[in-house]
Each structure stands twice: as C-alpha cells, then as structure tokens.
Amino acid sequence: MGTVFLGRSPDGRLVAVKMLRAEHAWDTEFRGRFRSEVNRAREVPGFCTAAVLDADPDHETPYLVVEYVDGPSLSEVIRERGPLDGGTLHSVAVGVATALAAIHGVGVIHRDLKPQNVLFSLGTPKVIDFGIARALEVTSRHTRTDQMVGTVAYMAPERFDNDADRTVGPAADVFAWGVVVAYAATGRTPFWADSPAATAARILTQPPDLTGLDGSLRELVGRTLAKDPNERPTAYQLLDLLLEAETGGSLAQRPELLRAAEAVQHTGRVPLSDVREPAPPGRQRMTRLVAVGAVATVVCAGIGFALSRHDVDEELASFAPSSSPSAPAASGKSRIQGPGVSDRLDRRGLWKADRASGSAGGWCTFDERMLATTHDSVLHRCRGPQDLFAGDQTIGVDVGIVTKGACALVWFRSVDKRGYVASFCENEVRLGLDESAGNGFNSEQRVAVSAFRVGQTHRTGITVQNGTAEVTVDGKPVLSMPVTDPQLVSGRVVLGALNDASQGDATVAFANVDLRSPVAGQPAHFTDPTTGSSQSVVRLYSYDPVAHSAVAEPILLMDSADYCKQFKIDPADIKCSDPFQVVESRTKVTIPVRSAPKLTSWESAGGWEGVVSVRAGTGQSISASKFTKWLAGKEEGGLVAVTTTGGELTTLTRIDQF
C-alpha cells in the first residue's frame, strides 16, 4: 500500500499516517477513486473499526490519517500464543463480524481482510484499512494486468475472475472472515499450499480443510467459504447466527462486545444492491470529517487473552489522585489521553514481590516501601504494571539509597529491556538510552550531585515533553536530553536497582510512585479512593487479603441521558439509548484494605434500574471465598462499589449486573 508513519495530530493525539506509493500519484482515476473510498470509509461507525480521521487525495503523494492502534495483530497473537479456542475464539469471530457489518452497512467493501488487518489495543479488536484496497487494486489492474491487491490465502474465488472489479461484492469479505476465523482456530489457513498459485487453485477447486475447528462455528465457517458468493450469509446474517450460536456465557462476560454487536444489528443494513460503485470525482457526496477529538463510539471489548476496556472519551480528563507535592506536573499544551498509575509501594499491589521466585539475580520486597536488591546480577528489575505510556508523560517517585554503591534505576519507554533510563546514585545522576539489554548506557549524560546519601530519601521526577526528557531531584532540574528514537515512541515504566560497586548485594528503596499522561479537555471528576472517606465505584482488578491491598481503577456510572447531555453527544447516538454509561479514568491505583473488610453483593430484581446509584453497603453479605472466586472470573476486572475510611477500603460490594 505504501509507507505508514506514526504521527501526532495538532491536538497531540497519536495517529497513523499512510503515505501511498508514489507511482499511484500520477493517475487521476486513482485519485478520484481514492477520494470516493475515503469519503465512504469516514462514514463507517466505530464498531470494532479503526476510524479514518483525515485524508488528502490531492496531495503530491496521496495520504490518509487513521486512528493509531497500539497493539499486536491477530497474526502476531497466534504466532506468539498459538491458536485460540472457546470463548476467546468466539469473541474474535463476533468482533470481526461486527466490524464487517458496520463496514458493509455504509456500502463499503474491505477487500483485504486478513489477520494482519485485525489489531488489538488493550484487548480490543479493531479492523483497519477497510475500503482502501479497492482504489489501489483498480490502479494496479490498469498498470499491471497480473497484479492484485490482497493476500491470496484470504481471497474469495470471484477475486480471481478476469472482471473481478464488477463481480466482487461484500460476499468476498465474508469469505475472508471464514479464512480468518479458521486461521485463528487452527494456526493455518484452510486452503494452504506450497505456493500462491497452488493456494489459488485450491480456493477455486477444493473444499476447505477445517480440521481442528469444531461445533457450530465449524459449520458457520464452512458456509462462509462456499465457492458461490450467493450461498454465503451476509455480514448481518453472519452476526445474527453467531449471536444465536453463542454458548457458555462468553459474551455475557463481555458486555461491551455484546452491546456493539446488537447495536450493529439495528443500524445500517444496506441492501446488497445498494453497495455502490464510486461516484465520479465531481459528484461525490460530502461527508463530515471525523474529528480526532470526537467522543468515542461504542467499541468491541473483552477478548480473553488481554485486558480490554471502554476507553474514556477523548474529551475527558484522566483521574488525578493526590501525590507528593514535589511530584512533577504536566505542563504545556499536550493533549494526549493516556493511562495513569499511582501506588504508595508500601505493600504488594501494582508492583509485585518476587523473592519467593528464587531468582538468584535479585529480588523485590515490601517493608513500608519497595526494596529492590541485586544479588548475583549487576541489576534487577521489579515486576510492575504493563501499561504503555506514549508521547508526553510525567514520572514521580521517592528514591532512597539503602546500601553503598547502589543506584536506583527508572526506565521509561522501555520495550524488551531497551529504552531510556535515569540512574540515581550516591554521587551522580545519569540519563541515557539503554541499548544493551539493560546492562549499560548509550548517549549517556551525567551530572554530579551529592543529594543521594545512604539512608536519605528524595523525590525524583522525569518529565517527557515535546521530545525532551528532563530529570528533577526534589523539584530542581538536574539534566535533560532529547528522546527521539523512532522505535521508542511508547513503552513501560520500570523500577529497579543497579550495583555500581560490583561487589556484594546492592539495595535501593522506592515509594509513592505516580505515572501520568497529560489529560485532555474538560475534566471528569473521579473520586480518589486512596484518600479521605468516600463511596464510589471502581473496576477492581485484584484483591489481596494477605497484603491488605486492592488494585482498582476509579470510574463513573452515569445515566446515559445525563452522559449524552454533559458531553454534548447527539441524542440519536446509540450510546444515548443504553441504560447507563461507564466512564473510565484509565488510572490504576493500589488501595489499602482494612483487615477483614465487609464483603457484599448487589443484585437488583428490577434489572438495570438503580445500578447508577448503587453504593457500598446496599448488598447482601457474602463470604471472602465467594467474593474472590467471583473476581477471579472477571478477566478484565469486576465493577465494585467501595466505601473508604481514611483512605482504607472498609466495604466492597460486587455489582453482579455487569
């Protein structure tokens, strides 16, 4: 197709910029078709699709701008984890079918559906590049008669027709759906052969090999792989059949996916005869540009192998709990909406203890603070959250040197043990690009400082803004450097220890860590459960009765009418017809829990009524084992109403309606 760049929109959001191949630029017919296809692609609702945000067909090199999906493709997931099964496989099948129904519902045909075009961001499946292949394929067929756009293994038989431009319709995408699902279930395509030509021959003449695919899904995949496109179900029929065939309650555990699929069932449904050819360039219907900062539409969620969440709307701000006064604050006009993490590090929570694992290289333990110790290795990393931070960010953490010769390390934008790192030692602070699997620095800067004496604690900060990282100690800048590596635009924040003396064990201490992405737009006010006394609702990820801690994300439950009014959403939007909306802060916190807290369960015989106003203490008492068993079954966390007293959880009420 061309070259894809990671870009930043004027309001700071990360986007994918697709620059099409230069040889297409001279073709005026291509520009017209490209313009038409992009205009229609903008109409596709955001049900499991990556939005087309902007395009310029008249640029010297035509390009389009699409939503940036920061996650692996389905092909990468299968390659790394193996074939999918059970509820996870069924959810992927439903998610991709939902996307196809949304795409076909506005008269667009994908033409290049394959595992590489199904991406996951925090577990959310999104189909990309819909509609664009058509414009490229027409140009290719005019310039080279033997060239097609697409991957042979996923092409329907009619794609090989000499007049495929006239005969290919939505049924070709349904065929590709069958191949994608078969691949997800078995790790291979059903017409696989040694060469593309042999694969094409099998697609045209042989039945599919569906060995390893069982049950109702096998029958449905077989129907979508019929040679005759008229014998295949439409995308809407496919989605209906998938929802009817759902067993085991897998979709009940993924309410957002279910709501998205049901919403698509009641929208669009353009008849096959209305899937239209592109209009001539001068007669194209004007469509509204999808703004980068628009309120998020319903998305699919709940894939079983990863976290997935209904992302907070772009115009909402992230939760901002109290932190040390000297923690760095976001500044400037950056508007990236990203995750947040806050942990006192006085107990197991977002960061884990690992001494019991028997690692000879070192360990991390908790004793009113987190202690990182090297043993037989030069350095040791503590196991912490997997959240990825892109663009501007701030990091604040209390650092103490426990033993002589020890250095505290803070990696940021860390990917596979490569990333930027700040080192806080007794006599100097260092900042550099760590390119040697964590054992050294490149492009290193150092500054002498006498602040880090053994036994003392200081507030350290790292602020990444406008391509520059600045390190502070107790609020005072000490050094900075550009952060311009194109392969490190996002990554994890990791805490650890370095033995700078090269003898004996080396120990450092961390406390009160606070990781932030700059917020965007009008703030939404979330209750901070880590301070004061309050009642609120959170998404609970873990409850550790031994460490007396819980990992949770503050959220808001809002009546949909109030939600749409507050955030200026068209009342006709599908969101406004739902009973309620979940607004997420995208910030995870570790909350202290009182010994033997009150555990209850809230159930409403009246259905969804009352769920918005549910508060802790309104449910029926349940046992600790029943509560923890329920939470263990929530792959993406369960919604829990909590009561806190003095920043300590005293009551947890599970909300079973979710």
Q: Do residues 194 and 222 lie in contact, with contact meaning Cβ atoms separated by under 8 Å?
A: no
C-alpha torsion 566→572→574→575, nearest 10:
10
Residue type (1 letter), 261: A
Pick from 404, 366, 400, 428: nearest CA to 504: 404
- From residue 310, give the alpha-carbon distance in Å to each of 37, 70, 211, 295, 658: 29, 15, 35, 12, 13
Helix (H), strand (E) at residue 410: strand 406-415
Q: Do residues 48 and 93 lie in contact, with contact meaning Cβ atoms separated by under 8 Å?
A: no
Q: Do residues 510 and 398 lie in contact, with contact meaning Cβ atoms separated by under 8 Å?
A: yes
Residue in the structure block whose two tokens are 């140009």: 139
Strand, helix or coil at 121? strand
- Residue 29 forms beta bridges with which residues? none
Q: Do residues 89 and 125 lie in contact, with contact meaning Cβ atoms separated by under 8 Å?
A: no
Q: Which two tokens stand for residue 241?
A: 């059949």
Give the integer Cα–Cα distance in Å for 399 and 461. 10
Q: Which two tokens stand for residue 607?
A: 């259905």
Strand, helix or coil at 114? coil
Confirm whether 578 is a catalytic residue.
no
Strands 14-20 and 638-645 come out as: unpaired
Length of the chain: 658
Give the integer Cα–Cα distance in Å for 96 and 118. 8
Q: Do residues 83 and 217 lie in contact, with contact meaning Cβ atoms separated by under 8 Å?
A: no
Those residues with Cβ within 8 angstroms of residue 471's Cβ, 6 or more apart along the chain or in another chain: 422, 429, 431, 460, 461, 462, 477, 478, 479, 480
Please give, one letter per residue, the 3-state secondary structure of 24-48.
Answer: HCCCHHHHHHHHHHHHHHCCCCCCC
Q: Do residues 29 and 279 lie in contact, with contact meaning Cβ atoms separated by under 8 Å?
A: no
Strands 648-655 and 587-602 come out as: parallel
Angle subtended by helix axes 235-245 and 255-265, to nearest 10: 140
- Residue 373 forms beta bridges with which residues? 363, 507
End-to-end CA distance of the chain: 42
- From residue 120, give the alpha-carbon distance in Å to each of 74, 274, 359, 493: 7, 31, 32, 21
Name the catalytic one among 27, 112, 500, 573. Answer: 112
DSSP assigned state of 295: P
Give the integer Cα–Cα distance in Å for 205 and 352. 56
Strand, helix or coil at 17? strand
Backbone angles phi, psi at 279, to 5 degrees: -75, 155
Q: Which residues are catalytic?
A: 112
